[in-house]
Amino acid sequence: MNRKYFIPTGIVIVLIILWRIIAITTSGEDGRSGRGGRPAVAVETGTVRYGPIQDIRRLTGSVYPHYRYVISPKVSGRLVDLRVRIGDSVKTGEIIGLIDDAEYQQTVIEAEANLKIAQSSLIEAGIQFDLAREEKERVEVLLEKGISSPSELDAAISNYSAQESRLDLAKAQVEQREASLEAARIRLGYTRLTASKPGLVGQRFVDEGALLAPNAAVVSVVGIDSVIVRASVTERDYGLIRRGQYAEIAVDAYPDRKFAGDVARIAPLLEETSRVAQLEVEIKNDERLLKPGMFARVDVRIAARDSTQIVPTQALARRNTQTGVFTIASDEPKARYLPVEVGIATPAWTEILSPRLEGPVITLGQHLIEDGSPILIPSESSSKDVQSADQIRGTQ
């Protein structure tokens, strides 16, 4: 090509390219102009609604009996009778086992005989004391009449004091023998193993014929008419949980059932190694379905609203330090950013305390738009709603 034609042609091409760039930046592909030269962004919208919402914290733990105790003997001996097995129900005071009591029976008989001896000695000491008192009084009268001598009075007084001491000793011996007899009877009673509270036999540690030492475990009894679910709370959730909050329990054994209870107590400290605290939920267990040792999932209701303004959680957007939502201008397809005050937040829905929102909110595409950005709304997304208001429930 001739050089004199090449330069003008290049200039024309450059001008055409510049014109095309200016046209693209000042107008969308569909010919509509956008604010500041920006093209319209396709977005999806969700509905602002009024309905219930709950803030739930899911914890994990285990089921424990309301109480558990081990029946064990206080004396040694051979177990001659064990009347219960695992799962049997026991009542307060019911005898569940017997220890060979022949030796303890003999101890009681011996203690009773010793008490009788002491009581006879007391009677004799009482008679001697009465005689010594009468003798002392008689000598005192005779001394006043000049018939008796002072030495006889001294002898009478000395005998009186000795008999009084003997009487006191006899009384003490009787008390000692009574105490020994009571102790023997108590030890004899220890040969009968009884239940101190009603419940179910959880474990049986020995069989009949076993030679037992004091405090050896025989059976364990658990009370499960109500149970305790103990779970761990992380430091993040510790400040949100209070006594009396409603909780629901789920266990693998009954996947279709929920068990209701309340937070009964929470530990006043966190374990230094794990940074968790223990809480306990008490649950009525009238059907005795919950058993100690079951793995439990605990949903603690932190807060709840029966009817409040809620939006899909994915509609929230942060601009600088503010949290807000994008709504759609009523007169033109543009986004309007509104700062909001957030209440209860769940993965699916978030409560908006203020302001009151009108119209749909943008749930997809917020990261591409700013306040006043032009938007495109697909017709199928404007009325999409995948969850009804009466099913709004979040778990964190």
Position 384 confidence tier, pLDDT thresholds 50, 70, 90: very low
CATH of residue 91: 2.40.50.100
**pLDDT-based confidence at residue 345 (cuts at 50, 70, 90):** confident
pLDDT the model gives residue 261 = 94
* 3: helix, strand or coil: helix
d(CA 245, CA 261): 9
Query: What's the sign of the alpha-carbon dihedral 345, 349, 351, 357?
Result: positive
User: Is residue 12 a part of any domain in this protein?
Assistant: no
* pLDDT value of residue 77: 94
Whether residue 11 lies inside any domain: the answer is no
Q: What is the pLDDT of residue 36?
A: 47
- Interacting residues of 356 by C-beta distance below 8 A, sequence separation 6+: 309
Kindly report which listed range (4-8, 73-77, 88-92, 373-377) carries the lowest average pLDDT score: 4-8
In a domain, 369, yes or no: yes
pLDDT confidence of residue 46: 87
The reply to whether 352 and 328 lie within a common domain is yes
Sole residue written with tokens 């920006």: 38
Do 205 and 246 share a domain, yes or no? no
Q: What is the mean pLDDT of residues 133-151?
A: 83
Per-residue pLDDT at 156 = 85
How many domains does the structure of the chain reveal?
A: 4
| Nearest Cα to Cα of residue 167 among 139, 132, 140, 138 | 132
Q: Is residue 396 part of a domain?
A: no
Q: Domain boundary residue among 304, 339, 365?
A: 304
Secondary structure of residue 15 in the 3-state scheme: helix
d(CA 224, CA 195): 15
Q: Tokens 């108590």 — which residue? A: 186
Under DSSP, the state recorded for 291 is -
Is residue 271 one of the residues assigned to a domain?
A: yes
DSSP secondary structure of 158-220? HHHHHHHHHHHHHHHHHHHHHHHHHHHHHHHHTTEEE-SS-EEEEEE---TT-EEPTT---EE
State yes or no: pLDDT of 113 exceeds 70: yes
CATH number at residue 231: 2.40.30.170
Asked whether residue 90 falls in the same domain as residue 196, the answer is yes
**Residues 47 and 384 sit within 8 Å (Cβ to Cβ):** no
Residue 13 lies in a domain: no
The residue that leads in pLDDT, 380 or 336, is 336
pTM over 0.75: no
Provide the CATH number for the domain around residue 324.
2.40.420.20
Q: Please indicate, yes or no, if residue 2 is contained in any of the structural domains.
A: no
386 located within any domain: yes
pLDDT at position 313 is 92
pLDDT of residue 143: 79
Percentage of the chain beyond pLDDT 90 is 60
Name the pairing type of β-strands 41-42 and 375-376.
parallel
Do residue 185 and residue 210 come from a single domain? no
- Residue 374 in this model has a pLDDT that exceeds 60: yes
Q: Are 89 and 212 within one domain?
A: yes
Mark whether 319 and 291 lie in a shared domain.
no
pLDDT score of 152? 84
Q: What's the rounded mean pLDDT across residues 27-47?
A: 63
Q: Are residues 260 and 206 in the same domain?
A: no
Question: What pLDDT is stored for residue 14 in this prediction?
Answer: 60
241 and 267, same domain (yes or no): yes
Distance CA 338, CA 48 (A): 14
Determine the pLDDT at residue 243.
Answer: 94
Last residue of a domain, one of 304, 327, 358: 304
299: left (phi over 0), alpha (psi -120 to 50) or beta: beta
Do 92 and 211 sit in the same domain of this protein?
Answer: yes
Domain encompassing residue 78: 73-98+192-217
Q: Are residues 201 and 335 in the same domain?
A: no
Task: Give me the sheet containing 211-212, strands edge to edge.
Answer: 192-194, 95-99, 77-82, 211-212
Highest-pLDDT range among 132-136, 293-297, 329-333: 293-297
The candidate with the shortest Cα–Cα distance to 79, out of 58, 54, 105, 97, is: 97
Q: Give the mean model confidence (pLDDT) for residues 315-343.
A: 88
Domain boundary among the residues 172, 189, 206 is at 189
What integer pLDDT is reported at residue 373 of this predicted model?
A: 87
Task: Give the closest residue to 319 by CA, choosing from 396, 372, 358, 378.
Answer: 372
> Do residue 177 and residue 106 come from a single domain?
yes
pLDDT at 367: 85
Kindly state whether residues 152 and 204 are assigned to the same domain. Answer: no
Judge whether residue 355 has pLDDT over 50: yes
Whether the per-residue pLDDT at 323 is higher than 70: the answer is yes
* φ, ψ (nearest 5 deg) of residue 263: -70, 115
pLDDT digits (tens, 9 = 90+) for 192-239: 999 999 999 999 999 999 999 999 999 999 999 999 999 999 999 999
pLDDT at 141: 83
Chain mean pLDDT for the chain: 86
Residue 153 clears pLDDT 90, i.e. is over it: no
